Structure 1
Amino acid sequence: MQAMKVAVVGGGLGGLTAAALLARGGCEVTLYERSKHLGGRAQTTEVEGFRFNLGPHALYRAGAAMRVLGRLGVKPPGGIPGAGSYALRAGRLHTLPSGPVTLMTTDVLSLAGKLEVARLLAGLARIDTAPLGPLSTREWLDTRLAREDSRALVGALVRVATYCADHTVLSAQVAVKQLQSAVAANVLYVDGGWSTLVDAVERQGREAGARLELSARVDAVVLRGSRVEGVRLADGTVHAADAVVVAGSPAEVAALVPGDAVLAREAREAIPIKAATLELGLSTLPRPGALFALGVDGPWYASVHSASARLAPEGGAMVHVAKYLGGSDTEPSESELESVMDAFQPGWRAHVVARRFRPALTVSAGLPQAAKGGLSG
């Protein structure tokens, strides 16, 4: 029997993974990537020995991505962060609760707040997330937690787990699922950056027989009625396919199938998750004991990724600072992120070897909205 021909559009980590799995399943797979490089948002570049990801990346050890990588035989190298964690409030560092002892000793929570958060975390794994789809994260926080300090801390944990600051829109189903995954097994910072994963999955795909075409922009999915016939490239050539997998944003998918009302509506209604990021390669870390800071009174994040993964030259530090964007807050300034670094690593400016500022990095093309039923939407 002739193998099914599948065209995969998009050479990011999602497209590469789809191509590898389909090829392993016996399909004749061709992947088309419009740029000269594979990886998409999982690309990593090296500057002066520092490995720069496109913003802070973390692989959830209990998440779906890790399970799929395991199916492909890919075991990501890296380390698990945890030590040197702080809460950032009013421009000062405080103990970030990460266990029973730090929960009881931190001053970011009142005694009543500590008991409330302890009860929530103790029962977190048992929460059924299915009914939470149409409930916003803000509504869930207000329902489950009576105290403002408790809501601020758990809201901060949701931000770091989802990259999303707009809790009035984000489905509580996704927020709780991500919290459950983080608490269950933490995350992994990957040695060499996420290009390590891209290279490993690319290798698996090629070994399984997938063809990877670079600088090959797909302009349209070719249909005859409702049946897929192939893809048309920018140079006008048509390549036959029995099925097409598009690993892209809702807008990119809709553009490939013009006239499809459902896809057009999904593209119009999609809300991207964005973050402003400041990425720093430092010759040394001014405050070696401070490795992670999470804003509880603002959407801030700072982490020394090189403390857990090989991302910097000997003695150096690769630091990611971010502001989670959402709602009307869409124009952050670089100085805001510098102020976070001033609190996190005083004196850091004297040690900068390389830096990058990204004012509006797209983390995900589609925020799971409560108004759409969460993951079911």
Structure 2
Amino acid sequence: MKAPRVAVIGGGLGGLSAAALLARGGCAVTLFERSKHLGGRGQTSDVEGFRFNLGAHALYQGGAGMRVLGELGVKPAGGMPGAGSYLLSGGRLHTMPRGLVSLLTTDALGLPGKLELAKLLAGLGRVDLAPLANITTRDWVEQHLSNADARAFILALVRVMTYCADVDAMSAQSAVAQLQAKPAVLYVDGGWSTLVSELETRARDAGTRLELSARVSAVLLADTGARVRGVRLADGTEHAADAVVVAGGPGDIAALLPADALLAHDAARAVPVMAATLELGLSRLPRPDALFALGTDGPWYASVHSAVAKLAPEGGAMVHVMQYLGGRGPEASEARLEEVMDALQPGWRTSVVARRYRPSLLVSHWLPTAETGGLRGRPSVEVPHVPGLYRVGDWVGPEGLLAEASFASAESVARALVPGQQVASRRAVGR
């Protein structure tokens, strides 16, 4: 039998994973990437020996990312943060509760807040996620916690686990799912470009043809129906395909079929998640024991990624400071991120070797809102009204957030197009 021809549009982590899985399953895969480089938001740049990711990147242990990477034989190296962690409130550092003992001894909360928080955390594992799809995260927190300090702490945890500050819109389903999972994170040696390189190798070894600087301008449909028949590039050339996988945002797929009202509707209702980031390469850490700070009185975060991963020259430090944007939070401010660093690492300015500030960095294409039905309300991998058209990304399918959703949707595409392929079973919210 002739191998199914699959065109994958987009060479980020999701597109490369989908291409590798499909090629391993026997498909004839061609991946088209519009830029000169693969990786998308997974790219890493070297500045004076410091490895700069596009913002703070962390790979969740036990999630779809590690599952799919493991299926492809990719074993990321790195380390898990934990030591030197603090809560930041009023410009002061407080002990970060990491268990019952530290919760009882921290000065970040009073006794009433500690008792309420302990009760909530003890019962989290029994919370049914399905009814939370159409409840906002703030409403859920206010229903279960009356103490202001306890609320502030839980909302801070939600922000760092979801990379989102808009708790007035975010579905409680996605927030509580992350709290239940308590995902340990891995900071990857060399940055996320190492994952991109490994996935490129797996895709090529499986037989994928990679076309760089190849911008797809349209998905082509058969004259006799809506089924896809291929893609057209910006230079006018056409490539036949039995299936097309778009690894991008909702606006990207809508632009490829501009007459499709349903795809345009998805693009219009998508609420992106954004962040402001300050990335710092320091020659030294003024305070080596302070490695992580999480704001409870504002949407702030700072972490010394090089403390556990190879991201800086010997003796240096790679630090990510971030402000989660959206909701009732303040506007992006480089000065405010500098103040977070002042609290975590006093005197850091004299050690700066390289720095980069981004006031508006795309974190995710689709915030799972209560209005759209949470994780289950996100678009499916298959485009139902266009046979042969599939989508992969951080906004697709019922499983995971951020890169986890990209990996999970790539896995789902492989299951749909290569039904006999043995891929580890997935965990989807509500199943």
Q: TM-score, normalised by structure 1?
A: 0.98
Which segment drifts farther, 30-39 or 100-109? 100-109
Alignment partners' CA distance in 2, 1:175 and 1:358: 26
1:223 corresponds to 2:221:
yes
Alignment of 1:61-140 (within 5 A): 61-140=61-140
Alignment partners' CA distance in 2, 1:99 and 1:329: 28
Using the TM superposition, give the Cα deviation of residue 330 of structure 1 relative to its aligned residue in structure 2, in angstroms: 7.3
- Residue 210 of structure 1 is matched in structure 2 by 208
Task: Show CA shifts across 1:121-166 (max 9, x none).
Answer: 2222232212211111111111121211111000000000011100
SS of residue matched to 2:371: helix
Task: Show CA shifts across 1:297-339 (max 9, x none).
Answer: 0000000000010000110000000000003657412111111
Alignment partners' CA distance in 2, 1:88 and 1:74: 36
The answer (yes or no) to whether the contact 2:80–2:186 under 8 Å persists in 1 is: yes
Alignment partners' CA distance in 1, 2:302 and 2:227: 48
SS of residue matched to 1:175: helix
- Residue 338 of structure 1 is matched in structure 2 by 338
Identity %: 70
Alignment partners' CA distance in 2, 1:117 and 1:76: 34
- What amino acid does structure 2 have at the position aligned with 1:276? A
- Residue 189 of structure 2 is matched in structure 1 by 191
1:289 corresponds to 2:313:
no
- Residue 176 of structure 1 is matched in structure 2 by 176
SS of residue matched to 1:370: coil
Alignment partners' CA distance in 1, 2:89 and 2:170: 24
Q: Which runs of 5+ in 2 are unaligned?
A: 378-431
- How many residue pairs get aligned? The number is 375
SS of residue matched to 1:244: strand
Alignment partners' CA distance in 1, 2:328 and 2:112: 33
Alignment partners' CA distance in 2, 1:364 and 1:202: 22
The answer (yes or no) to whether the contact 1:272–1:365 under 8 Å persists in 2 is: yes
Alignment partners' CA distance in 1, 2:60 and 2:368: 18
Which segment drifts farther, 109-118 or 359-368? 109-118
- Residue 327 of structure 1 is matched in structure 2 by 327
Alignment partners' CA distance in 1, 2:328 and 2:118: 32
1:145 corresponds to 2:145:
yes
Using the TM superposition, give the Cα deviation of residue 253 of structure 1 relative to its aligned residue in structure 2, in angstroms: 0.9
The answer (yes or no) to whether the contact 1:56–1:320 under 8 Å persists in 2 is: yes
- What amino acid does structure 1 have at the position aligned with 2:320? H
Q: TM-score, normalised by structure 2?
A: 0.86
Alignment partners' CA distance in 2, 1:320 and 1:46: 15
RMSD in angstroms over aligned alpha carbons?
Answer: 1.1
Q: Which runs of 5+ in 1 are unaligned?
A: none
Alignment partners' CA distance in 2, 1:233 and 1:163: 35
Alignment partners' CA distance in 2, 1:261 and 1:328: 32
Alignment partners' CA distance in 2, 1:26 and 1:348: 53
SS of residue matched to 1:158: helix
- Residue 252 of structure 1 is matched in structure 2 by 252
- Residue 22 of structure 2 is matched in structure 1 by 22
Using the TM superposition, give the Cα deviation of residue 102 of structure 1 relative to its aligned residue in structure 2, in angstroms: 1.1
Alignment partners' CA distance in 2, 1:304 and 1:146: 33
- Residue 381 of structure 2 is matched in structure 1 by none
- Residue 165 of structure 2 is matched in structure 1 by 165
The answer (yes or no) to whether the contact 2:166–2:328 under 8 Å persists in 1 is: no
